[in-house]
């Protein structure tokens, strides 16, 4: 098949056949199609987007371009949760053991962070002995035993997506909605998922800055997922302010453990907001998987699993199964920064903004994130936020605690926190965590 013909069809907006889409995926995975031709096709696809039908066929072709996780023998229902990425998003650390403790099988591949959004695998690196290097066979065997396995993304699953994403990143075609959809869903299909709950972030700290953009992405993921044979349920959640109180790898692990182990009354107001999100997606997963007959029943079961300690016990089993050698009741093993400083407010009033984008950029600059894939990250640094939008504060009240390794990092963080957190005289309504339910 002459790939120039395929490029020309896309350039003219002529629909591809299933065979052509399969040739693109297989050629990208094998390296047989040169980068310059793939780049030309990507730009043509950016300018003349694939239809839903084409996107579904392309998603399946990319999923089949490599290995497939066979979950035969793993107790059903099988569920996967995916987030489009956000500042302070440590949801998997709580939700995965919570759902497994409720009887679902959670088999999830996660990635490392790049830019202002942290990666789940980076957070798990904070746990001494924990290994995320599981083969597909290892993941299945572990899920059969304890109902949960979380590993780093395999090079063997959906290799076409890996090749195309690297080119999208350098050809300014990342923003193509059909290509985003096929990238997300192909990995879910290759990972064996049947039901997927999607957390589509919306706000300054996400790549969906507006509700309109987020709604289009959520709708496309749902439509195409169904055409590709998945049960997909997408909710839009707030990312105008960071999720929870912690931003930074070790700090986020600490907050997740607290949400799993402490009663709600002992959590900070920001951690309560994070807990609310976990409860929402936990109940959604139970309901759409047929494990609960109604939303209220699902929510009650999630709450009971948290309060009873069963979710925390499942987290212990999970960490131990993947080599972790820690006591979750004592977080002294977590990496700690050498310097901590409390940043306070100089005015009284109502918190009008806790800008997720600026907070994420602060964390990135002091070492909690990566500017390039080759960068090393500092697991200990980050920010703890003590207020959220809508809170009333008085002069001298703590707004954030900076965890840094140098005085230069402290000064940088304080300078930008002045821009990130704004206090005004007039009252401000709190931001709802779930902007649009699934």
Q: Taking a C-beta distance cutoff of 8 angstroms, is the pair 130, 324 a contact?
A: yes
Within 8 A by CB and 6+ apart from 138, the residues are 149, 151
State the catalytic residue, choosing from 161, 199, 355, 378: 161
Between CA 289 and CA 293 the distance in angstroms is 10
Written as six digits, the tokens of 405 are: 């390794």
Written as six digits, the tokens of 247 are: 């931003």
Q: Where are the beta strands (DSSP E) in 60-134?
A: 78-83, 105-110
For this structure, is 82 an active site residue? yes
Of the candidates 129, 105, 132, 135, which has an alpha carbon nearest to the alpha carbon of residue 121? 132
For this structure, is 161 an active site residue? yes
Written as six digits, the tokens of 134 are: 């599981």
Of the candidates 97, 90, 86, 101, which has an alpha carbon nearest to the alpha carbon of residue 126? 90
State the catalytic residue, choosing from 16, 64, 82, 386: 82
Within 8 A by CB and 6+ apart from 31, the residues are 163
State the catalytic residue, choosing from 90, 108, 123, 187: 187
Between CA 244 and CA 256 the distance in angstroms is 9
Q: Hunting for tokens 């569920």 — which residue is that?
A: 79
State the catalytic residue, choosing from 65, 105, 110, 183: 183
State the catalytic residue, choosing from 10, 22, 64, 168: 168
**Which are the catalytic amino acids?**
82, 161, 168, 183, 187
């Amino acid at each position: 098949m002459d790939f120039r013909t395929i490029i020309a069809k896309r350039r003219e907006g002529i629909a591809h056949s299933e065979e052509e889409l399969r040739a693109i995926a297989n050629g990208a995975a094998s390296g047989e199609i040169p980068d310059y031709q793939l780049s030309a096709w990507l730009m043509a696809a950016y300018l003349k987007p694939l239809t839903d039908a084409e996107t579904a066929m392309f998603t399946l072709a990319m999923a089949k371009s490599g290995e497939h996780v066979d979950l035969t023998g793993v107790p059903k229902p099988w569920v996967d949760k995916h987030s489009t990425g956000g500042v302070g998003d440590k949801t998997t650390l709580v939700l995965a053991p919570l759902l497994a403790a409720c009887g679902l099988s959670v088999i999830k591949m996660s990635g490392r962070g790049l830019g202002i959004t942290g990666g789940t695998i980076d957070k798990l690196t904070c746990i001494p002995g924990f290994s995320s290097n599981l083969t597909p066979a290892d993941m299945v065997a572990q899920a059969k035993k304890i109902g949960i396995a979380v590993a780093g993304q395999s090079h063997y699953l959906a290799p076409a997506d890996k090749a195309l994403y690297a080119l999208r990143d350098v050809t300014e075609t990342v923003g193509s909605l059909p290509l985003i959809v096929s990238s997300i869903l192909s990995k879910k299909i290759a990972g064996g998922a049947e039901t997927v709950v999607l957390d589509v972030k919306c706000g300054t700290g996400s790549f969906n800055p507006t509700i309109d953009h987020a709604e289009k992405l959520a709708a496309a993921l749902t439509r195409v997922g169904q055409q590709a044979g998945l049960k997909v349920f997408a909710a839009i959640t707030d990312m105008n302010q960071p999720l929870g109180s912690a931003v930074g790898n070790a700090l986020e692990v600490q907050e997740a453990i607290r949400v799993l182990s402490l009663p709600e009354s002992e959590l900070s107001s920001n951690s309560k907001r994070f807990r609310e999100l976990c409860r929402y997606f936990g109940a959604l997963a139970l309901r759409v998987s047929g494990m609960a007959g109604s939303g209220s029943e699902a929510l009650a079961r999630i709450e009971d699993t948290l309060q009873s300690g069963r979710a925390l016990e499942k987290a212990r089993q999970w960490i131990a199964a993947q080599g972790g050698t820690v006591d979750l009741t004592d977080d002294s093993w977590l990496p700690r920064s050498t310097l901590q400083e409390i940043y306070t407010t100089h005015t009284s009033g109502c918190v009008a903004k806790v800008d997720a984008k600026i907070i994420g950029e602060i964390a990135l600059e002091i070492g909690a994130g990566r500017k390039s894939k080759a960068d090393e990250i500092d697991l200990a640094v980050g920010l703890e936020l003590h207020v959220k939008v809508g809170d009333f504060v008085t002069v001298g009240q703590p707004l954030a605690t900076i965890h840094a390794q140098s005085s230069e990092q402290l000064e940088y963080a304080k300078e930008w926190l002045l821009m990130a957190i704004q206090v005004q005289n007039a009252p401000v309504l709190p931001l709802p965590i779930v902007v649009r339910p699934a």
